[in-house]
Amino acid sequence: MEDKIVFCTGGGCTAKLGPGVLSRVLEKLPKGPPDENLLVGYDSKDDAAVYRISEDTAIVQTLDFFPPMVDDPFTFGQIAAANALSDIFAMGGEVLTALNIVCFPESMDLNVLGEIMRGGAQKVMEAGGILAGGHSIADAGVKYGLSVTGRVDPARIYRNNQPRPGDQLILTKKLGVGIVCAANRVGEASAEAMDEAINSMTALNKTAARISSNYPVHACTDVTGFGFLGHLHEMMDGRLSCLIRSGDIPVIREAVSYAEEFLLTGAGQKNRNHVQSCVRFEGISFAMEEILFDPQTSGGLLMAVPSGEGHEAEKLLKDLRHAGLPAAIVGEVCPARDAEIYVS
């Protein structure tokens, strides 16, 4: 059996359509009559759709799939599944069922597909869900992911755009996986850096979501294709600003040197084009700028948590770190200023 996926052009969340292009298309879709039970839909740019089915139960739906960004099929299956499941956790929900989404060339060794789906199934189980079916089509290239259904209490939905001034911003995974994968694609990444990126991408956001459910989370999203700044921009929602301390941001160390070598993705540049007008950098190195725009596959949760007399954000951070997550408080939300995002 061949244990490498033959093609690997630029997979993971780097394969996402650029945010600018996408919103132009979405704006033109016919909307239909409003339904008050659709709690989160297209309009909100949130991570998943939420539909209320009873007073205390809402269904969370999401789907995500992409081409491989690693050679090993089992690892790819794990990453694609962890990435798709993450949207449920980012909404504060629990995973119920998942369906496989598969594109696979007919000429390719079916054992490769078996390995991909085994990796995915393992992650669905770990997430506490049931793999209930799927759909596959013959295609020129490999693509894999999941359609996931979860459940959430309508009163406890984590919106991605409801932070309040004074909230502390917590990030639960290191940035830089897109750059490390890009470096790996051209044979420039060290084995250690790639291992760290893979461990980060296969890790579920389940633990982070479970721990944070004990705290008053005002806003939450998972950092994926639009990069840290792109998702932060959506979180500020045109109403607020934030001050980010780049020195506190967890980063895969080698990603800095790969960025200095310009081993950058096209998607990172698309993110820069989309969001740079909202960002003011103060004394930031070129490499760090790139890491902040870097598209993340299966990235961490970005949460806005109050930090009043209860010191909730600090306590949450302590719990997250105690659970072994490389989490950090990376900045603070403030009332709107000239620019939306200040990075110092």
Partner 1 sequence: MIKVNALGDACPIPVVKTKNAIKELKGPGLVETLVDNEIAVQNLTKMADQKGYTVKSEKISEGQYRVLMEIGKEEAAGDEAAEPDSAVMDSVMTDAAVRNGTVVVISSDKMGRGDDELGRALMKGFIFALSQQDQLPSTILFYNGGARMTTRDSVVLQDLLSMEEEGVEILTCGTCLNHYGLTDSLAVGQVTNMYTIVEKMTLAGHIVKP
DSSP readout, 151-206? Answer: EE-GGG---SS---TTPEEEE-S-B-HHHHHHHHHTT-S-HHHHHHHHHHHHS-SH
* Per CB under 8 A, 7 contacts partner 1: no
- List % helix, strand, coil for the chain (3-state, nearest 5): 40, 25, 35
* Per CB under 8 A, 261 contacts partner 1: yes
CB within 8 Å of 12: residues ≥ 6 apart: 66, 67, 68, 69, 79, 83, 177, 178, 181, 201, 295, 297, 298
Out of 81, 264, 302, 316, point to the residue binding partner 1 (CB under 8 A).
Answer: 264
Q: Which is nearer to partner 1, 3 or 260 (CB)?
A: 260
Q: Which is nearer to partner 1, 76 or 258 (CB)?
A: 258
* Per CB under 8 A, 199 contacts partner 1: no
* Per CB under 8 A, 182 contacts partner 1: yes
CB 31, min distance to partner 1, A: 31
Q: Which is nearer to partner 1, 71 or 126 (CB)?
A: 71
* Whether residue 8 lies in the annotated active site: no
DSSP readout, 296-322? Answer: -SS--EEEEE--STT-HHHHHHHHHHH
- As given in the structure block, the two tokens for residue 149 are 């259904």
* Per CB under 8 A, 270 contacts partner 1: yes
User: Which residue out of 13, 181, 220, 242 is catalytically annotated?
Assistant: 13
Is the distance from CB of 302 to CB of 170 less than 8 angstroms? yes
Is the distance from CB of 241 to CB of 334 less than 8 angstroms? yes
CB 276, min distance to partner 1, A: 11
* Per CB under 8 A, 260 contacts partner 1: yes
* Per CB under 8 A, 248 contacts partner 1: no
Q: Which is nearer to partner 1, 17 or 53 (CB)?
A: 17
* Per CB under 8 A, 12 contacts partner 1: no
- As given in the structure block, the two tokens for residue 8 are 């690997």
* Per CB under 8 A, 16 contacts partner 1: no
CB within 8 Å of 236: residues ≥ 6 apart: 161, 163, 242, 278, 333, 340, 341
CA 179/CA 232 separation, integer angstroms: 19
Q: What does the per-residue mask of binding to partner 1 show for 275-304, with x meaning CB under 8 A?
A: ----------xxx-----------------
Out of 37, 111, 269, 344, point to the residue binding partner 1 (CB under 8 A).
Answer: 269
Q: Which residues bind partner 1 (CB under 8 A)?
A: 9-10, 182-183, 185-186, 188, 256-257, 260-266, 269-270, 273, 285-287
Catalytic residues: 13
